[in-house]
């Protein structure tokens, strides 16, 4: 068997960026004509629209053309095996509830991963036309601007993002956590798209973001963008981050947030 060639993170980042932009423009144009068909997934509030599916088809088709030996895992059902050692994680619309209600905060999230984690990433917000990208060990950018997370050192001055599961049982526990955190921080935001929240940490628009029970395609791209911008990642006990427990924060408040989340 021939050894797997090294992969160029910047090249993969540019592929992710171009495809994310194309898919995002497709769904935003589609949304202007209405939601189209809407189906239910894990719960009556967890929906998939025809535009989630159209976006995933476009992304998977273009990856197949450009990277035929890579694996692809997409939220709406794609599971393409590959041989290259690269797996693409695709969220064709992150923030489908925002999309459904015609709120602007939805994104297309595409990550190229290898054994060491995310190698290259793009998150595109089609309504604001913001394209966040990162390549491992190279940095993170919004357009041409290099990203750096906020200088916040004081939890009481921190703006914290979070999100909630589609399952009402899980929301019980999430509500308890928020109730404990709320009096100790500047304020809480629930923007509605995990990938965008992570980009906001990268750009200092949030000082931290935490959520439980994410899926790998929610996390992979935004995690690289945030950490390349200087954010610290962990689970709620300070161990390595996992999609079940995600905390990304500017370094100055990481320990203070952990003290709340771990207790």
Between 161 and 252, name the residue whose CB sits nearer to ligand IPD: 161
CA angle (76, 134, 17) in 5-degree steps = 55
Residue 67-106 contact track with Ca ion, rule CB under 5 A, x = bound: --------x---------------x-xx------------
**Is there binding between residue 95 and ligand IPD (CB under 6 A)?**
yes
Q: Which stretch binds ligand IPD (CB under 6 A): 65-73, 93-101, 125-133, 172-180?
A: 93-101
Q: Least distance from C-beta 41 to ligand IPD, angstroms?
A: 8
Which one among 26, 27, 28, 214 touches ligand IPD, defined by CB under 6 A? Answer: 214
Provide DSSP, 187-219: EEE--S-HHHHHHHHHTTSSSEEEEES--HHHH
Cβ proximity of 224 and 111 under 8 Å: yes
The nearest distance, CB 135 to ligand IPD, in angstroms, is 23
91 is catalytic: yes
CA pair distance 99, 106, nearest whole angstrom: 6
Query: What is the DSSP code (8-state) at residue 41?
Result: -
- Options 56, 70, 76, 91; binder of ligand IPD; rule CB under 6 A: 91
- Interacting partner of 192 out of ligand IPD, Ca ion, none (Cβ under 5 to 8 A depending on kind): ligand IPD
Q: Which is nearer to ligand IPD, 96 or 233 (CB)?
A: 96
- Residue 77 or 175: the one with the smaller Cβ distance to Ca ion is 77
Q: Is 93 a catalytic residue?
A: yes
Question: 76, 197, 218, 228: which one is catalytic?
Answer: 218
- Please state the closest distance from residue 115 (CB atom) to ligand IPD, in A: 25
CB of 119 to ligand IPD, least distance (A): 22
* Interactions with Ca ion, residue window 198-227 (CB under 5 A): 218
116 exposure class (CB count in 10 Å sphere: 0-12, 13-18, 19+): exposed
Distances (CA, A) of 245 to 165, 199, 253, 262: 12, 18, 17, 11
Tokens at residue 164, please?
């909630």
109 closest CA partner among 118, 229, 117: 118
Q: How far is the CB of 4 from ligand IPD (least distance, A)?
A: 30
Please name which of 235, 232, 225, 187 lies closest in space to residue 203, comparing C-alpha atoms: 225
- Give dist(CA 145, CA 155) in Å, integer: 27
Cβ neighbors of 257 (< 8 A, separation 6 or more) are 155, 158, 160, 181, 208, 210, 247, 249
75 part of the active site: yes
Catalytically annotated residues: 75, 91, 93-94, 96, 218
Site of interaction with ligand IPD (CB under 6 A): 91, 94-97, 163-165, 192-194, 211, 214, 218
């Amino acid at each position: 068997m021939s050894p797997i060639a090294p992969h160029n993170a910047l090249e993969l980042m540019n592929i992710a960026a171009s495809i994310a932009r194309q898919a995002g423009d497709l769904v935003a144009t589609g949304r202007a004509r209405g939601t189209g068909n809407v189906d239910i997934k894990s719960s009556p509030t967890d929906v998939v629209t025809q535009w989630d599916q159209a976006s995933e088809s476009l992304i998977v088709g273009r990856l197949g053309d450009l990277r035929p030996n890579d694996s692809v895992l997409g939220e709406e059902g794609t599971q393409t095996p590959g041989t290259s050692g690269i797996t693409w994680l695709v969220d064709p619309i992150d923030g489908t509830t925002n999309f459904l209600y015609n709120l602007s905060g939805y994104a297309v999230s595409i990550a190229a991963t290898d054994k060491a984690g995310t190698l290259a990433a793009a998150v595109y917000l089609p309504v604001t036309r913001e394209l966040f990208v990162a390549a491992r060990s190279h940095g993170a950018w919004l357009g041409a601007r290099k990203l750096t997370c906020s200088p916040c050192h004081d939890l009481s001055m921190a703006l914290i993002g979070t999100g909630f599961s589609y399952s009402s049982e899980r929301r019980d526990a999430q509500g308890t956590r928020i109730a404990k955190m709320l009096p100790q921080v500047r304020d809480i935001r629930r923007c509605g798209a995990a990938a965008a929240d992570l980009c906001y940490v990268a750009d200092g628009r949030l000082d931290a973001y935490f959520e439980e029970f994410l899926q790998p395609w929610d996390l992979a791209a935004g995690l690289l963008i945030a950490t390349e911008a200087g954010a610290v990642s962990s689970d709620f006990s300070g161990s390595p981050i996992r999609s079940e427990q995600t905390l990304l924060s500017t370094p100055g408040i990481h320990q203070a947030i952990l003290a709340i989340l771990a207790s």
